Structure 1
Amino acid sequence: MPAFPSPAHIVVVGGGIGGLAAALAIARAGRDVTLVERAARFGEIGAGLQLAPNASFALEELGVLATVQRTAVAPPRLVMMDALSGDQITALDLRSAEYKERFTHPYLVTHRTDLHAALLAACQEHPAITLRTGHTVTRADQDSSGVRLRFAESSEVLSADAVVAADGLRSSVRQALVGDGDPICSRYVAFRGALPTEKMTGRMSQHAASEAVMVWAGPRMHLVQYPVRRGELYNQVAVFESDNYTPDSDDWGTEAELEERFGKACQAVRDSLPLVSRERRWPLYDRLPIDNWVHGRIVLLGDAAHPMLQYLAQGACQALEDAVALGRSLTRFPDAADAFTAYAAQRRERAARIQTNARRFGEICHLDGMGATLRNVLLSSRTPEDFDDVAWVWTPAPAAVAAS
């Protein structure tokens, strides 16, 4: 059986944000890396994403923060609005002295493709990284000396000292190792996309010009809005719970349900809805936290390890934290298996806590009736400089900070 030439000490499976960040961190730790991606070419789908200061910290560690900042927007505020009344519930000032003193790194919003492109370019430029597309992993065999990967497209075998599985929510490597079945559907769906800011009119244009991240919270639905790509595009994400969900059908979470769920929203939200992209619906999934990220010389990373709902805007952020922690561990431990154990020990508890709290924040966001009234009263008492509720999310793990 033919084999790839092997300077590849570590193989990364998956060429998304987490996989590229992992490859870059591993190479910067002095290891040779081969990254294999099943798609025919590298790319990222979706729209905007939020990069809290913990993600900016990780991007700086990976050497790509300045590149990301060239197209990203640094919003002045995070604003939570009542989707029914149109009243402001609470806000956080991201340009205050309190923010800068507490977090030091910026809060950014960017298009997923822009972040992916920055990481891909850095990987392409690094001499220790080899990128391969069109390689779908079907089998991973390991012993005490290394791992051998086999692929659907050919009989070639790729040997490595160790493997990082960053192949996403439906990770085939995770299933082979953990076998915990399908991810959990939340019964919520998202319609998302970014459109030219110049198409914004009326109150929407005012929101776009403010550059704030707007979250319109309502019963079993919400709308998120913010500018991306230097403010040239406006990202909108409409999320709602479907009454028609069935696990064996894809005929739920439809455009008709979208219109119905947002039908009682305030005028500002209803004005925004026609401009929300309908090209694709995104069912929202997560999994319960697991402890066993490490399996011999194979380790999980990103959504393969800890897929989470989007309500804390931490999915990509936590994958970036994973990558930095993995790179640090590989710097400290010559043997990859030891490094994987140290990396998982640092990351498991924090990632699990964020997974769990993402669900809880979604429940708070989607309250109705008296629950929503109490939420609004409690949150309205906060000042724009009060970051106590989110500081633990936005602050990198202590071990990572101490090592810097």
Structure 2
Amino acid sequence: MQEEITIIGAGIGGLTLACALEKKGIGFQLYEQADSFEALGYGIQVSPNVVRVLWELGLQKQLEIISHRCLGFELRSFKSDKTLAKWQLDNELPYYQCRRADLHSLLFNAIQDKHRIHFAQRLQSYEKKGSQLSLDWQNSQPTTAKALVAADGVHSLVRRSLFPQYQAQYAGYAAYRAILPFQDRYSSLWGKATVWMGNNHHVVVYPNGNQRNSTSWLNLVLVVKDRNWNEQGWMIPAPKKAVAQAFVNQSEELNVILEDMVASAEPCFKWGLFIHQPLPYWSQGQVTLLGDAAHPMLPFQAQGAAMAIEDAYILAEYLANEKDIEKAFIKYQRTRIKRATKVQQVSRNNADIFHASGAKAAIRNFALDLVSRIAPNLLNQKTAWIYNYDIKTSC
């Protein structure tokens, strides 16, 4: 591949693609609408399928430095605090948890030629002119491109241009994010992700950061059914006292965390969760979609960023091995669309499992208890198709 690739969006997907292209000697120009590099976000789960990609990009040591290693999961009752299921992971590769901001910075710092990254560049429109694409920017003169990869997120302008009738549907859930400095009284939560599940509520907590090498944090995600329409954004301030009151429960441990959240100087943010129907295709001519621009998903499988990272690596592989850009885009789409769509669906299904009530909750709790006591490895087998995915053999 001799042509430069134009990437829109310097989020995790766009930065991963830039890293992968640079390692393969493929030129790129990366455009970001923010005025400067901003490492944003709270916790992120870096499952083995993602670790495999980051190791392939030569980031093994850097990833370990910023990460907490998750060894297993514990599911507990929101109502009684009873442990519903508990199991250890059995993957060959680590399962990490870190701050999204730290992973974002790691990828940004891995790019050698920062001159290829352009800030304060908001794409307004694009059109095909002959063999090239003409890109119109809000704050600068138009540019041309041979190929355009839209990694511009859930509100992707490029996706809207390809699918003008596309509409997201409010999923009926509000989610809250907070992060707290890790304290000794959270020590029982180290080495795992803990989930409290209850009627119309669920809470996820897990540590962020390597105790030996970096500051450690406790990531907190709270989700509740909410009929009210919520803006689809990550940074809507939420009143912490009201959030804590909405999640009062029977776990002394969780209530201490909620009290700490209220007392902390760290903010809490709210966002509405939306269902995005799978797209029929991602690629059209010299344009393709990547990450949330292609397959936005609910966070109930913790694979949104993971799918973007997989997308990026595989797209770079096809661009390196295929002379024709359009053929590379189609091959990328064929390889990725089925898997990403399946993860989208599983994430939607998990919403019902996490928030079950009444008889459905009783059946769920009984099944989890039975499986975790008799055959806990079945819980690992349920996610093996996600975590054991090998990007090296998928192309």
What is the TM-score when the length of structure 1 is the normalising length?
0.87
Q: CA deviation at 1:21?
A: 0.6
Bigger drift between 321-330 and 172-181 goes to 172-181
Number of aligned positions between the proteins: 380
Q: What does residue 385 of structure 2 align with?
A: 392
CA–CA separation in structure 2 for the residues paired with 1:273 and 1:91: 23
The answer as to 2:328 corresponding to 1:339 is yes
Distance in 2 (CA, whole Å) between partners of 1:246 and 1:282 is: 7
Report the 3-state secondary structure (helix = DSSP H, G, I; strand = E; otherwise coil) of the residue aligned with 1:310: coil
Alpha-carbon shift at residue 218 of structure 1 (Å): 1.3
Q: Which residue of 2 aligns with 1:267?
A: 252
User: Who is 1:302 aligned against?
Assistant: 291
Q: How far apart, in 2, do the equivalents of 1:252 and 1:106 lie?
A: 34
Match of 1:212 among 189, 192, 199: 192
Per-residue CA deviation, residues 77-130 of structure 1 (Å, 9 max, x unaligned), is: 111111111111112312xxxx1xxx422110010011000100112x148x70
3-state SS of paired residue (1:299): strand
Flag the 1:78–1:246 CA change in 2: closer, same or farther, 3 A: closer
3-state SS in 2 of match to 1:362: helix
Aligned pairs for 1:175-194 within 5 A: 175-194=160-179
Out of 76, 88, 97, the position equivalent to 2:83 is 88
**What's the offset of the Cα at 1:212?**
1.4
Q: Counterpart of 1:334 in structure 2: which amino acid?
A: K
- Could you tell me how far 1:265 is from its partner in structure 2? 4.2
Matching of residue 75 in structure 1 with residue 70 in structure 2: yes
Gaps of 5+ in 1: 1-6
Letter in 1 for 2:75: M
User: Larger deviation: 31-40 or 21-30?
Assistant: 21-30
Determine the C-alpha separation between the residues in 1 that align with 2:332 and 2:227. 41
Q: Are 2:341 and 1:349 equivalent residues in the alignment? A: no
For 2:244 and 2:227, the matched residues in 1 are separated by 13
- Give the equivalent residue in structure 2 for 1:146: 132
1:223 and 1:252 map into 2 onto residues whose CA distance is 18
AA matched with 1:394: Y
CA deviation profile, 1:32-69 (whole Å, cap 9, x unmatched): 00000000012232210101111111111222232111
Residue 118 of structure 1 pairs with residue 106 of structure 2: yes
Please say if 1:17 is aligned against 2:6: no
The equivalent position to 1:242 in structure 2, one of 218, 226, 230, is 226
- Distance in structure 2 (CA, Å) of the matches to 1:362 and 1:275: 27
Q: Secondary structure at the match of 1:393?
A: helix
Quote the sequence identity (%).
Answer: 29
* Alpha-carbon distance in structure 1 between the residues aligned to 2:325 and 2:159: 18
Aligned: 1:223 with 2:203: yes
Q: Cα offset for 1:314?
A: 0.2
CA change 1:72–1:247 in 2 (3 A) is closer
Give the partner amino acid of 1:396.
Y
What's 1:166 paired with? 151
What are the equivalent positions in structure 2 for 1:57-68 lying under 5 Å apart? Answer: 57-68=52-63
Partner AA of 2:294 in structure 1: A
Q: Is the 8 A contact 1:52 1:317 kept in 2?
A: yes
- Matched to 2:370, the amino acid is S
CA distance in 2 between partners of 1:185 and 1:403 (Å): 33
Say whether the 8 Å CA contact 2:135–2:142 is kept in structure 1: yes
Question: Within 2, Cα distance between the matches of 1:83 and 1:184?
Answer: 28
CA distance in 1, matches of 2:249, 2:358: 13
- C-alpha distance 89-149 of structure 1, shift in aligned 2 (>3 A): same
Q: CA deviation at 1:251?
A: 10
Provide the rounded CA distance (Å) in 2 between the counterparts of 1:77 and 1:371.
25
How far has the Cα of 1:28 moved from its partner? 2.5
Question: Residue 4 of structure 1 corresponds to which residue in structure 2?
Answer: none
Over the aligned positions, Cα root-mean-square deviation in angstroms equals: 2.4
What is the distance in 1 between the residues matched to 2:242 and 2:299? 20
Kept after mapping to 1: 8 A contact 2:148/2:288: yes
SS at 1:116 equivalent: helix
Change (3 A) 1:266 1:180: farther
1:390 alignment partner, SS class = helix
Q: Is the 1:149–1:157 contact (alpha carbons within 8 Å) kept by the matching residues of 2?
A: yes
Distance 2:25 2:165 in 1: 34
What one-letter code is carried by the residue in structure 2 that aligns with 1:162?
A
Indicate if the aligned counterparts of 2:200 and 2:225 stay in contact, CA closer than 8 A: yes
8 Å contact 2:46–2:306 — kept in the other structure?
A: yes
- Alpha-carbon distance in 1 for matches of 2:387, 2:292: 18
| Conserved 8 A contact 2:315-2:328 | yes
CA deviation vs aligned residue, 1:129-161 (integer Å, no higher than 9, x gap): 70000000011112452222110112x122221
Runs of at least 4 residues off by over 6 Å: 250-254
Distance 1:255 1:220, change over 3 A: farther
CA deviation string 1:173-224 (max 9, x = no partner): 11112124443222222221221112x63xxx2333x331111111111111
Gapped runs of 5+ residues in structure 2?
A: none
Q: Find out whether 1:258 has 2:250 as its counterpart.
A: no
Shift of residue 351 of structure 1? 0.3
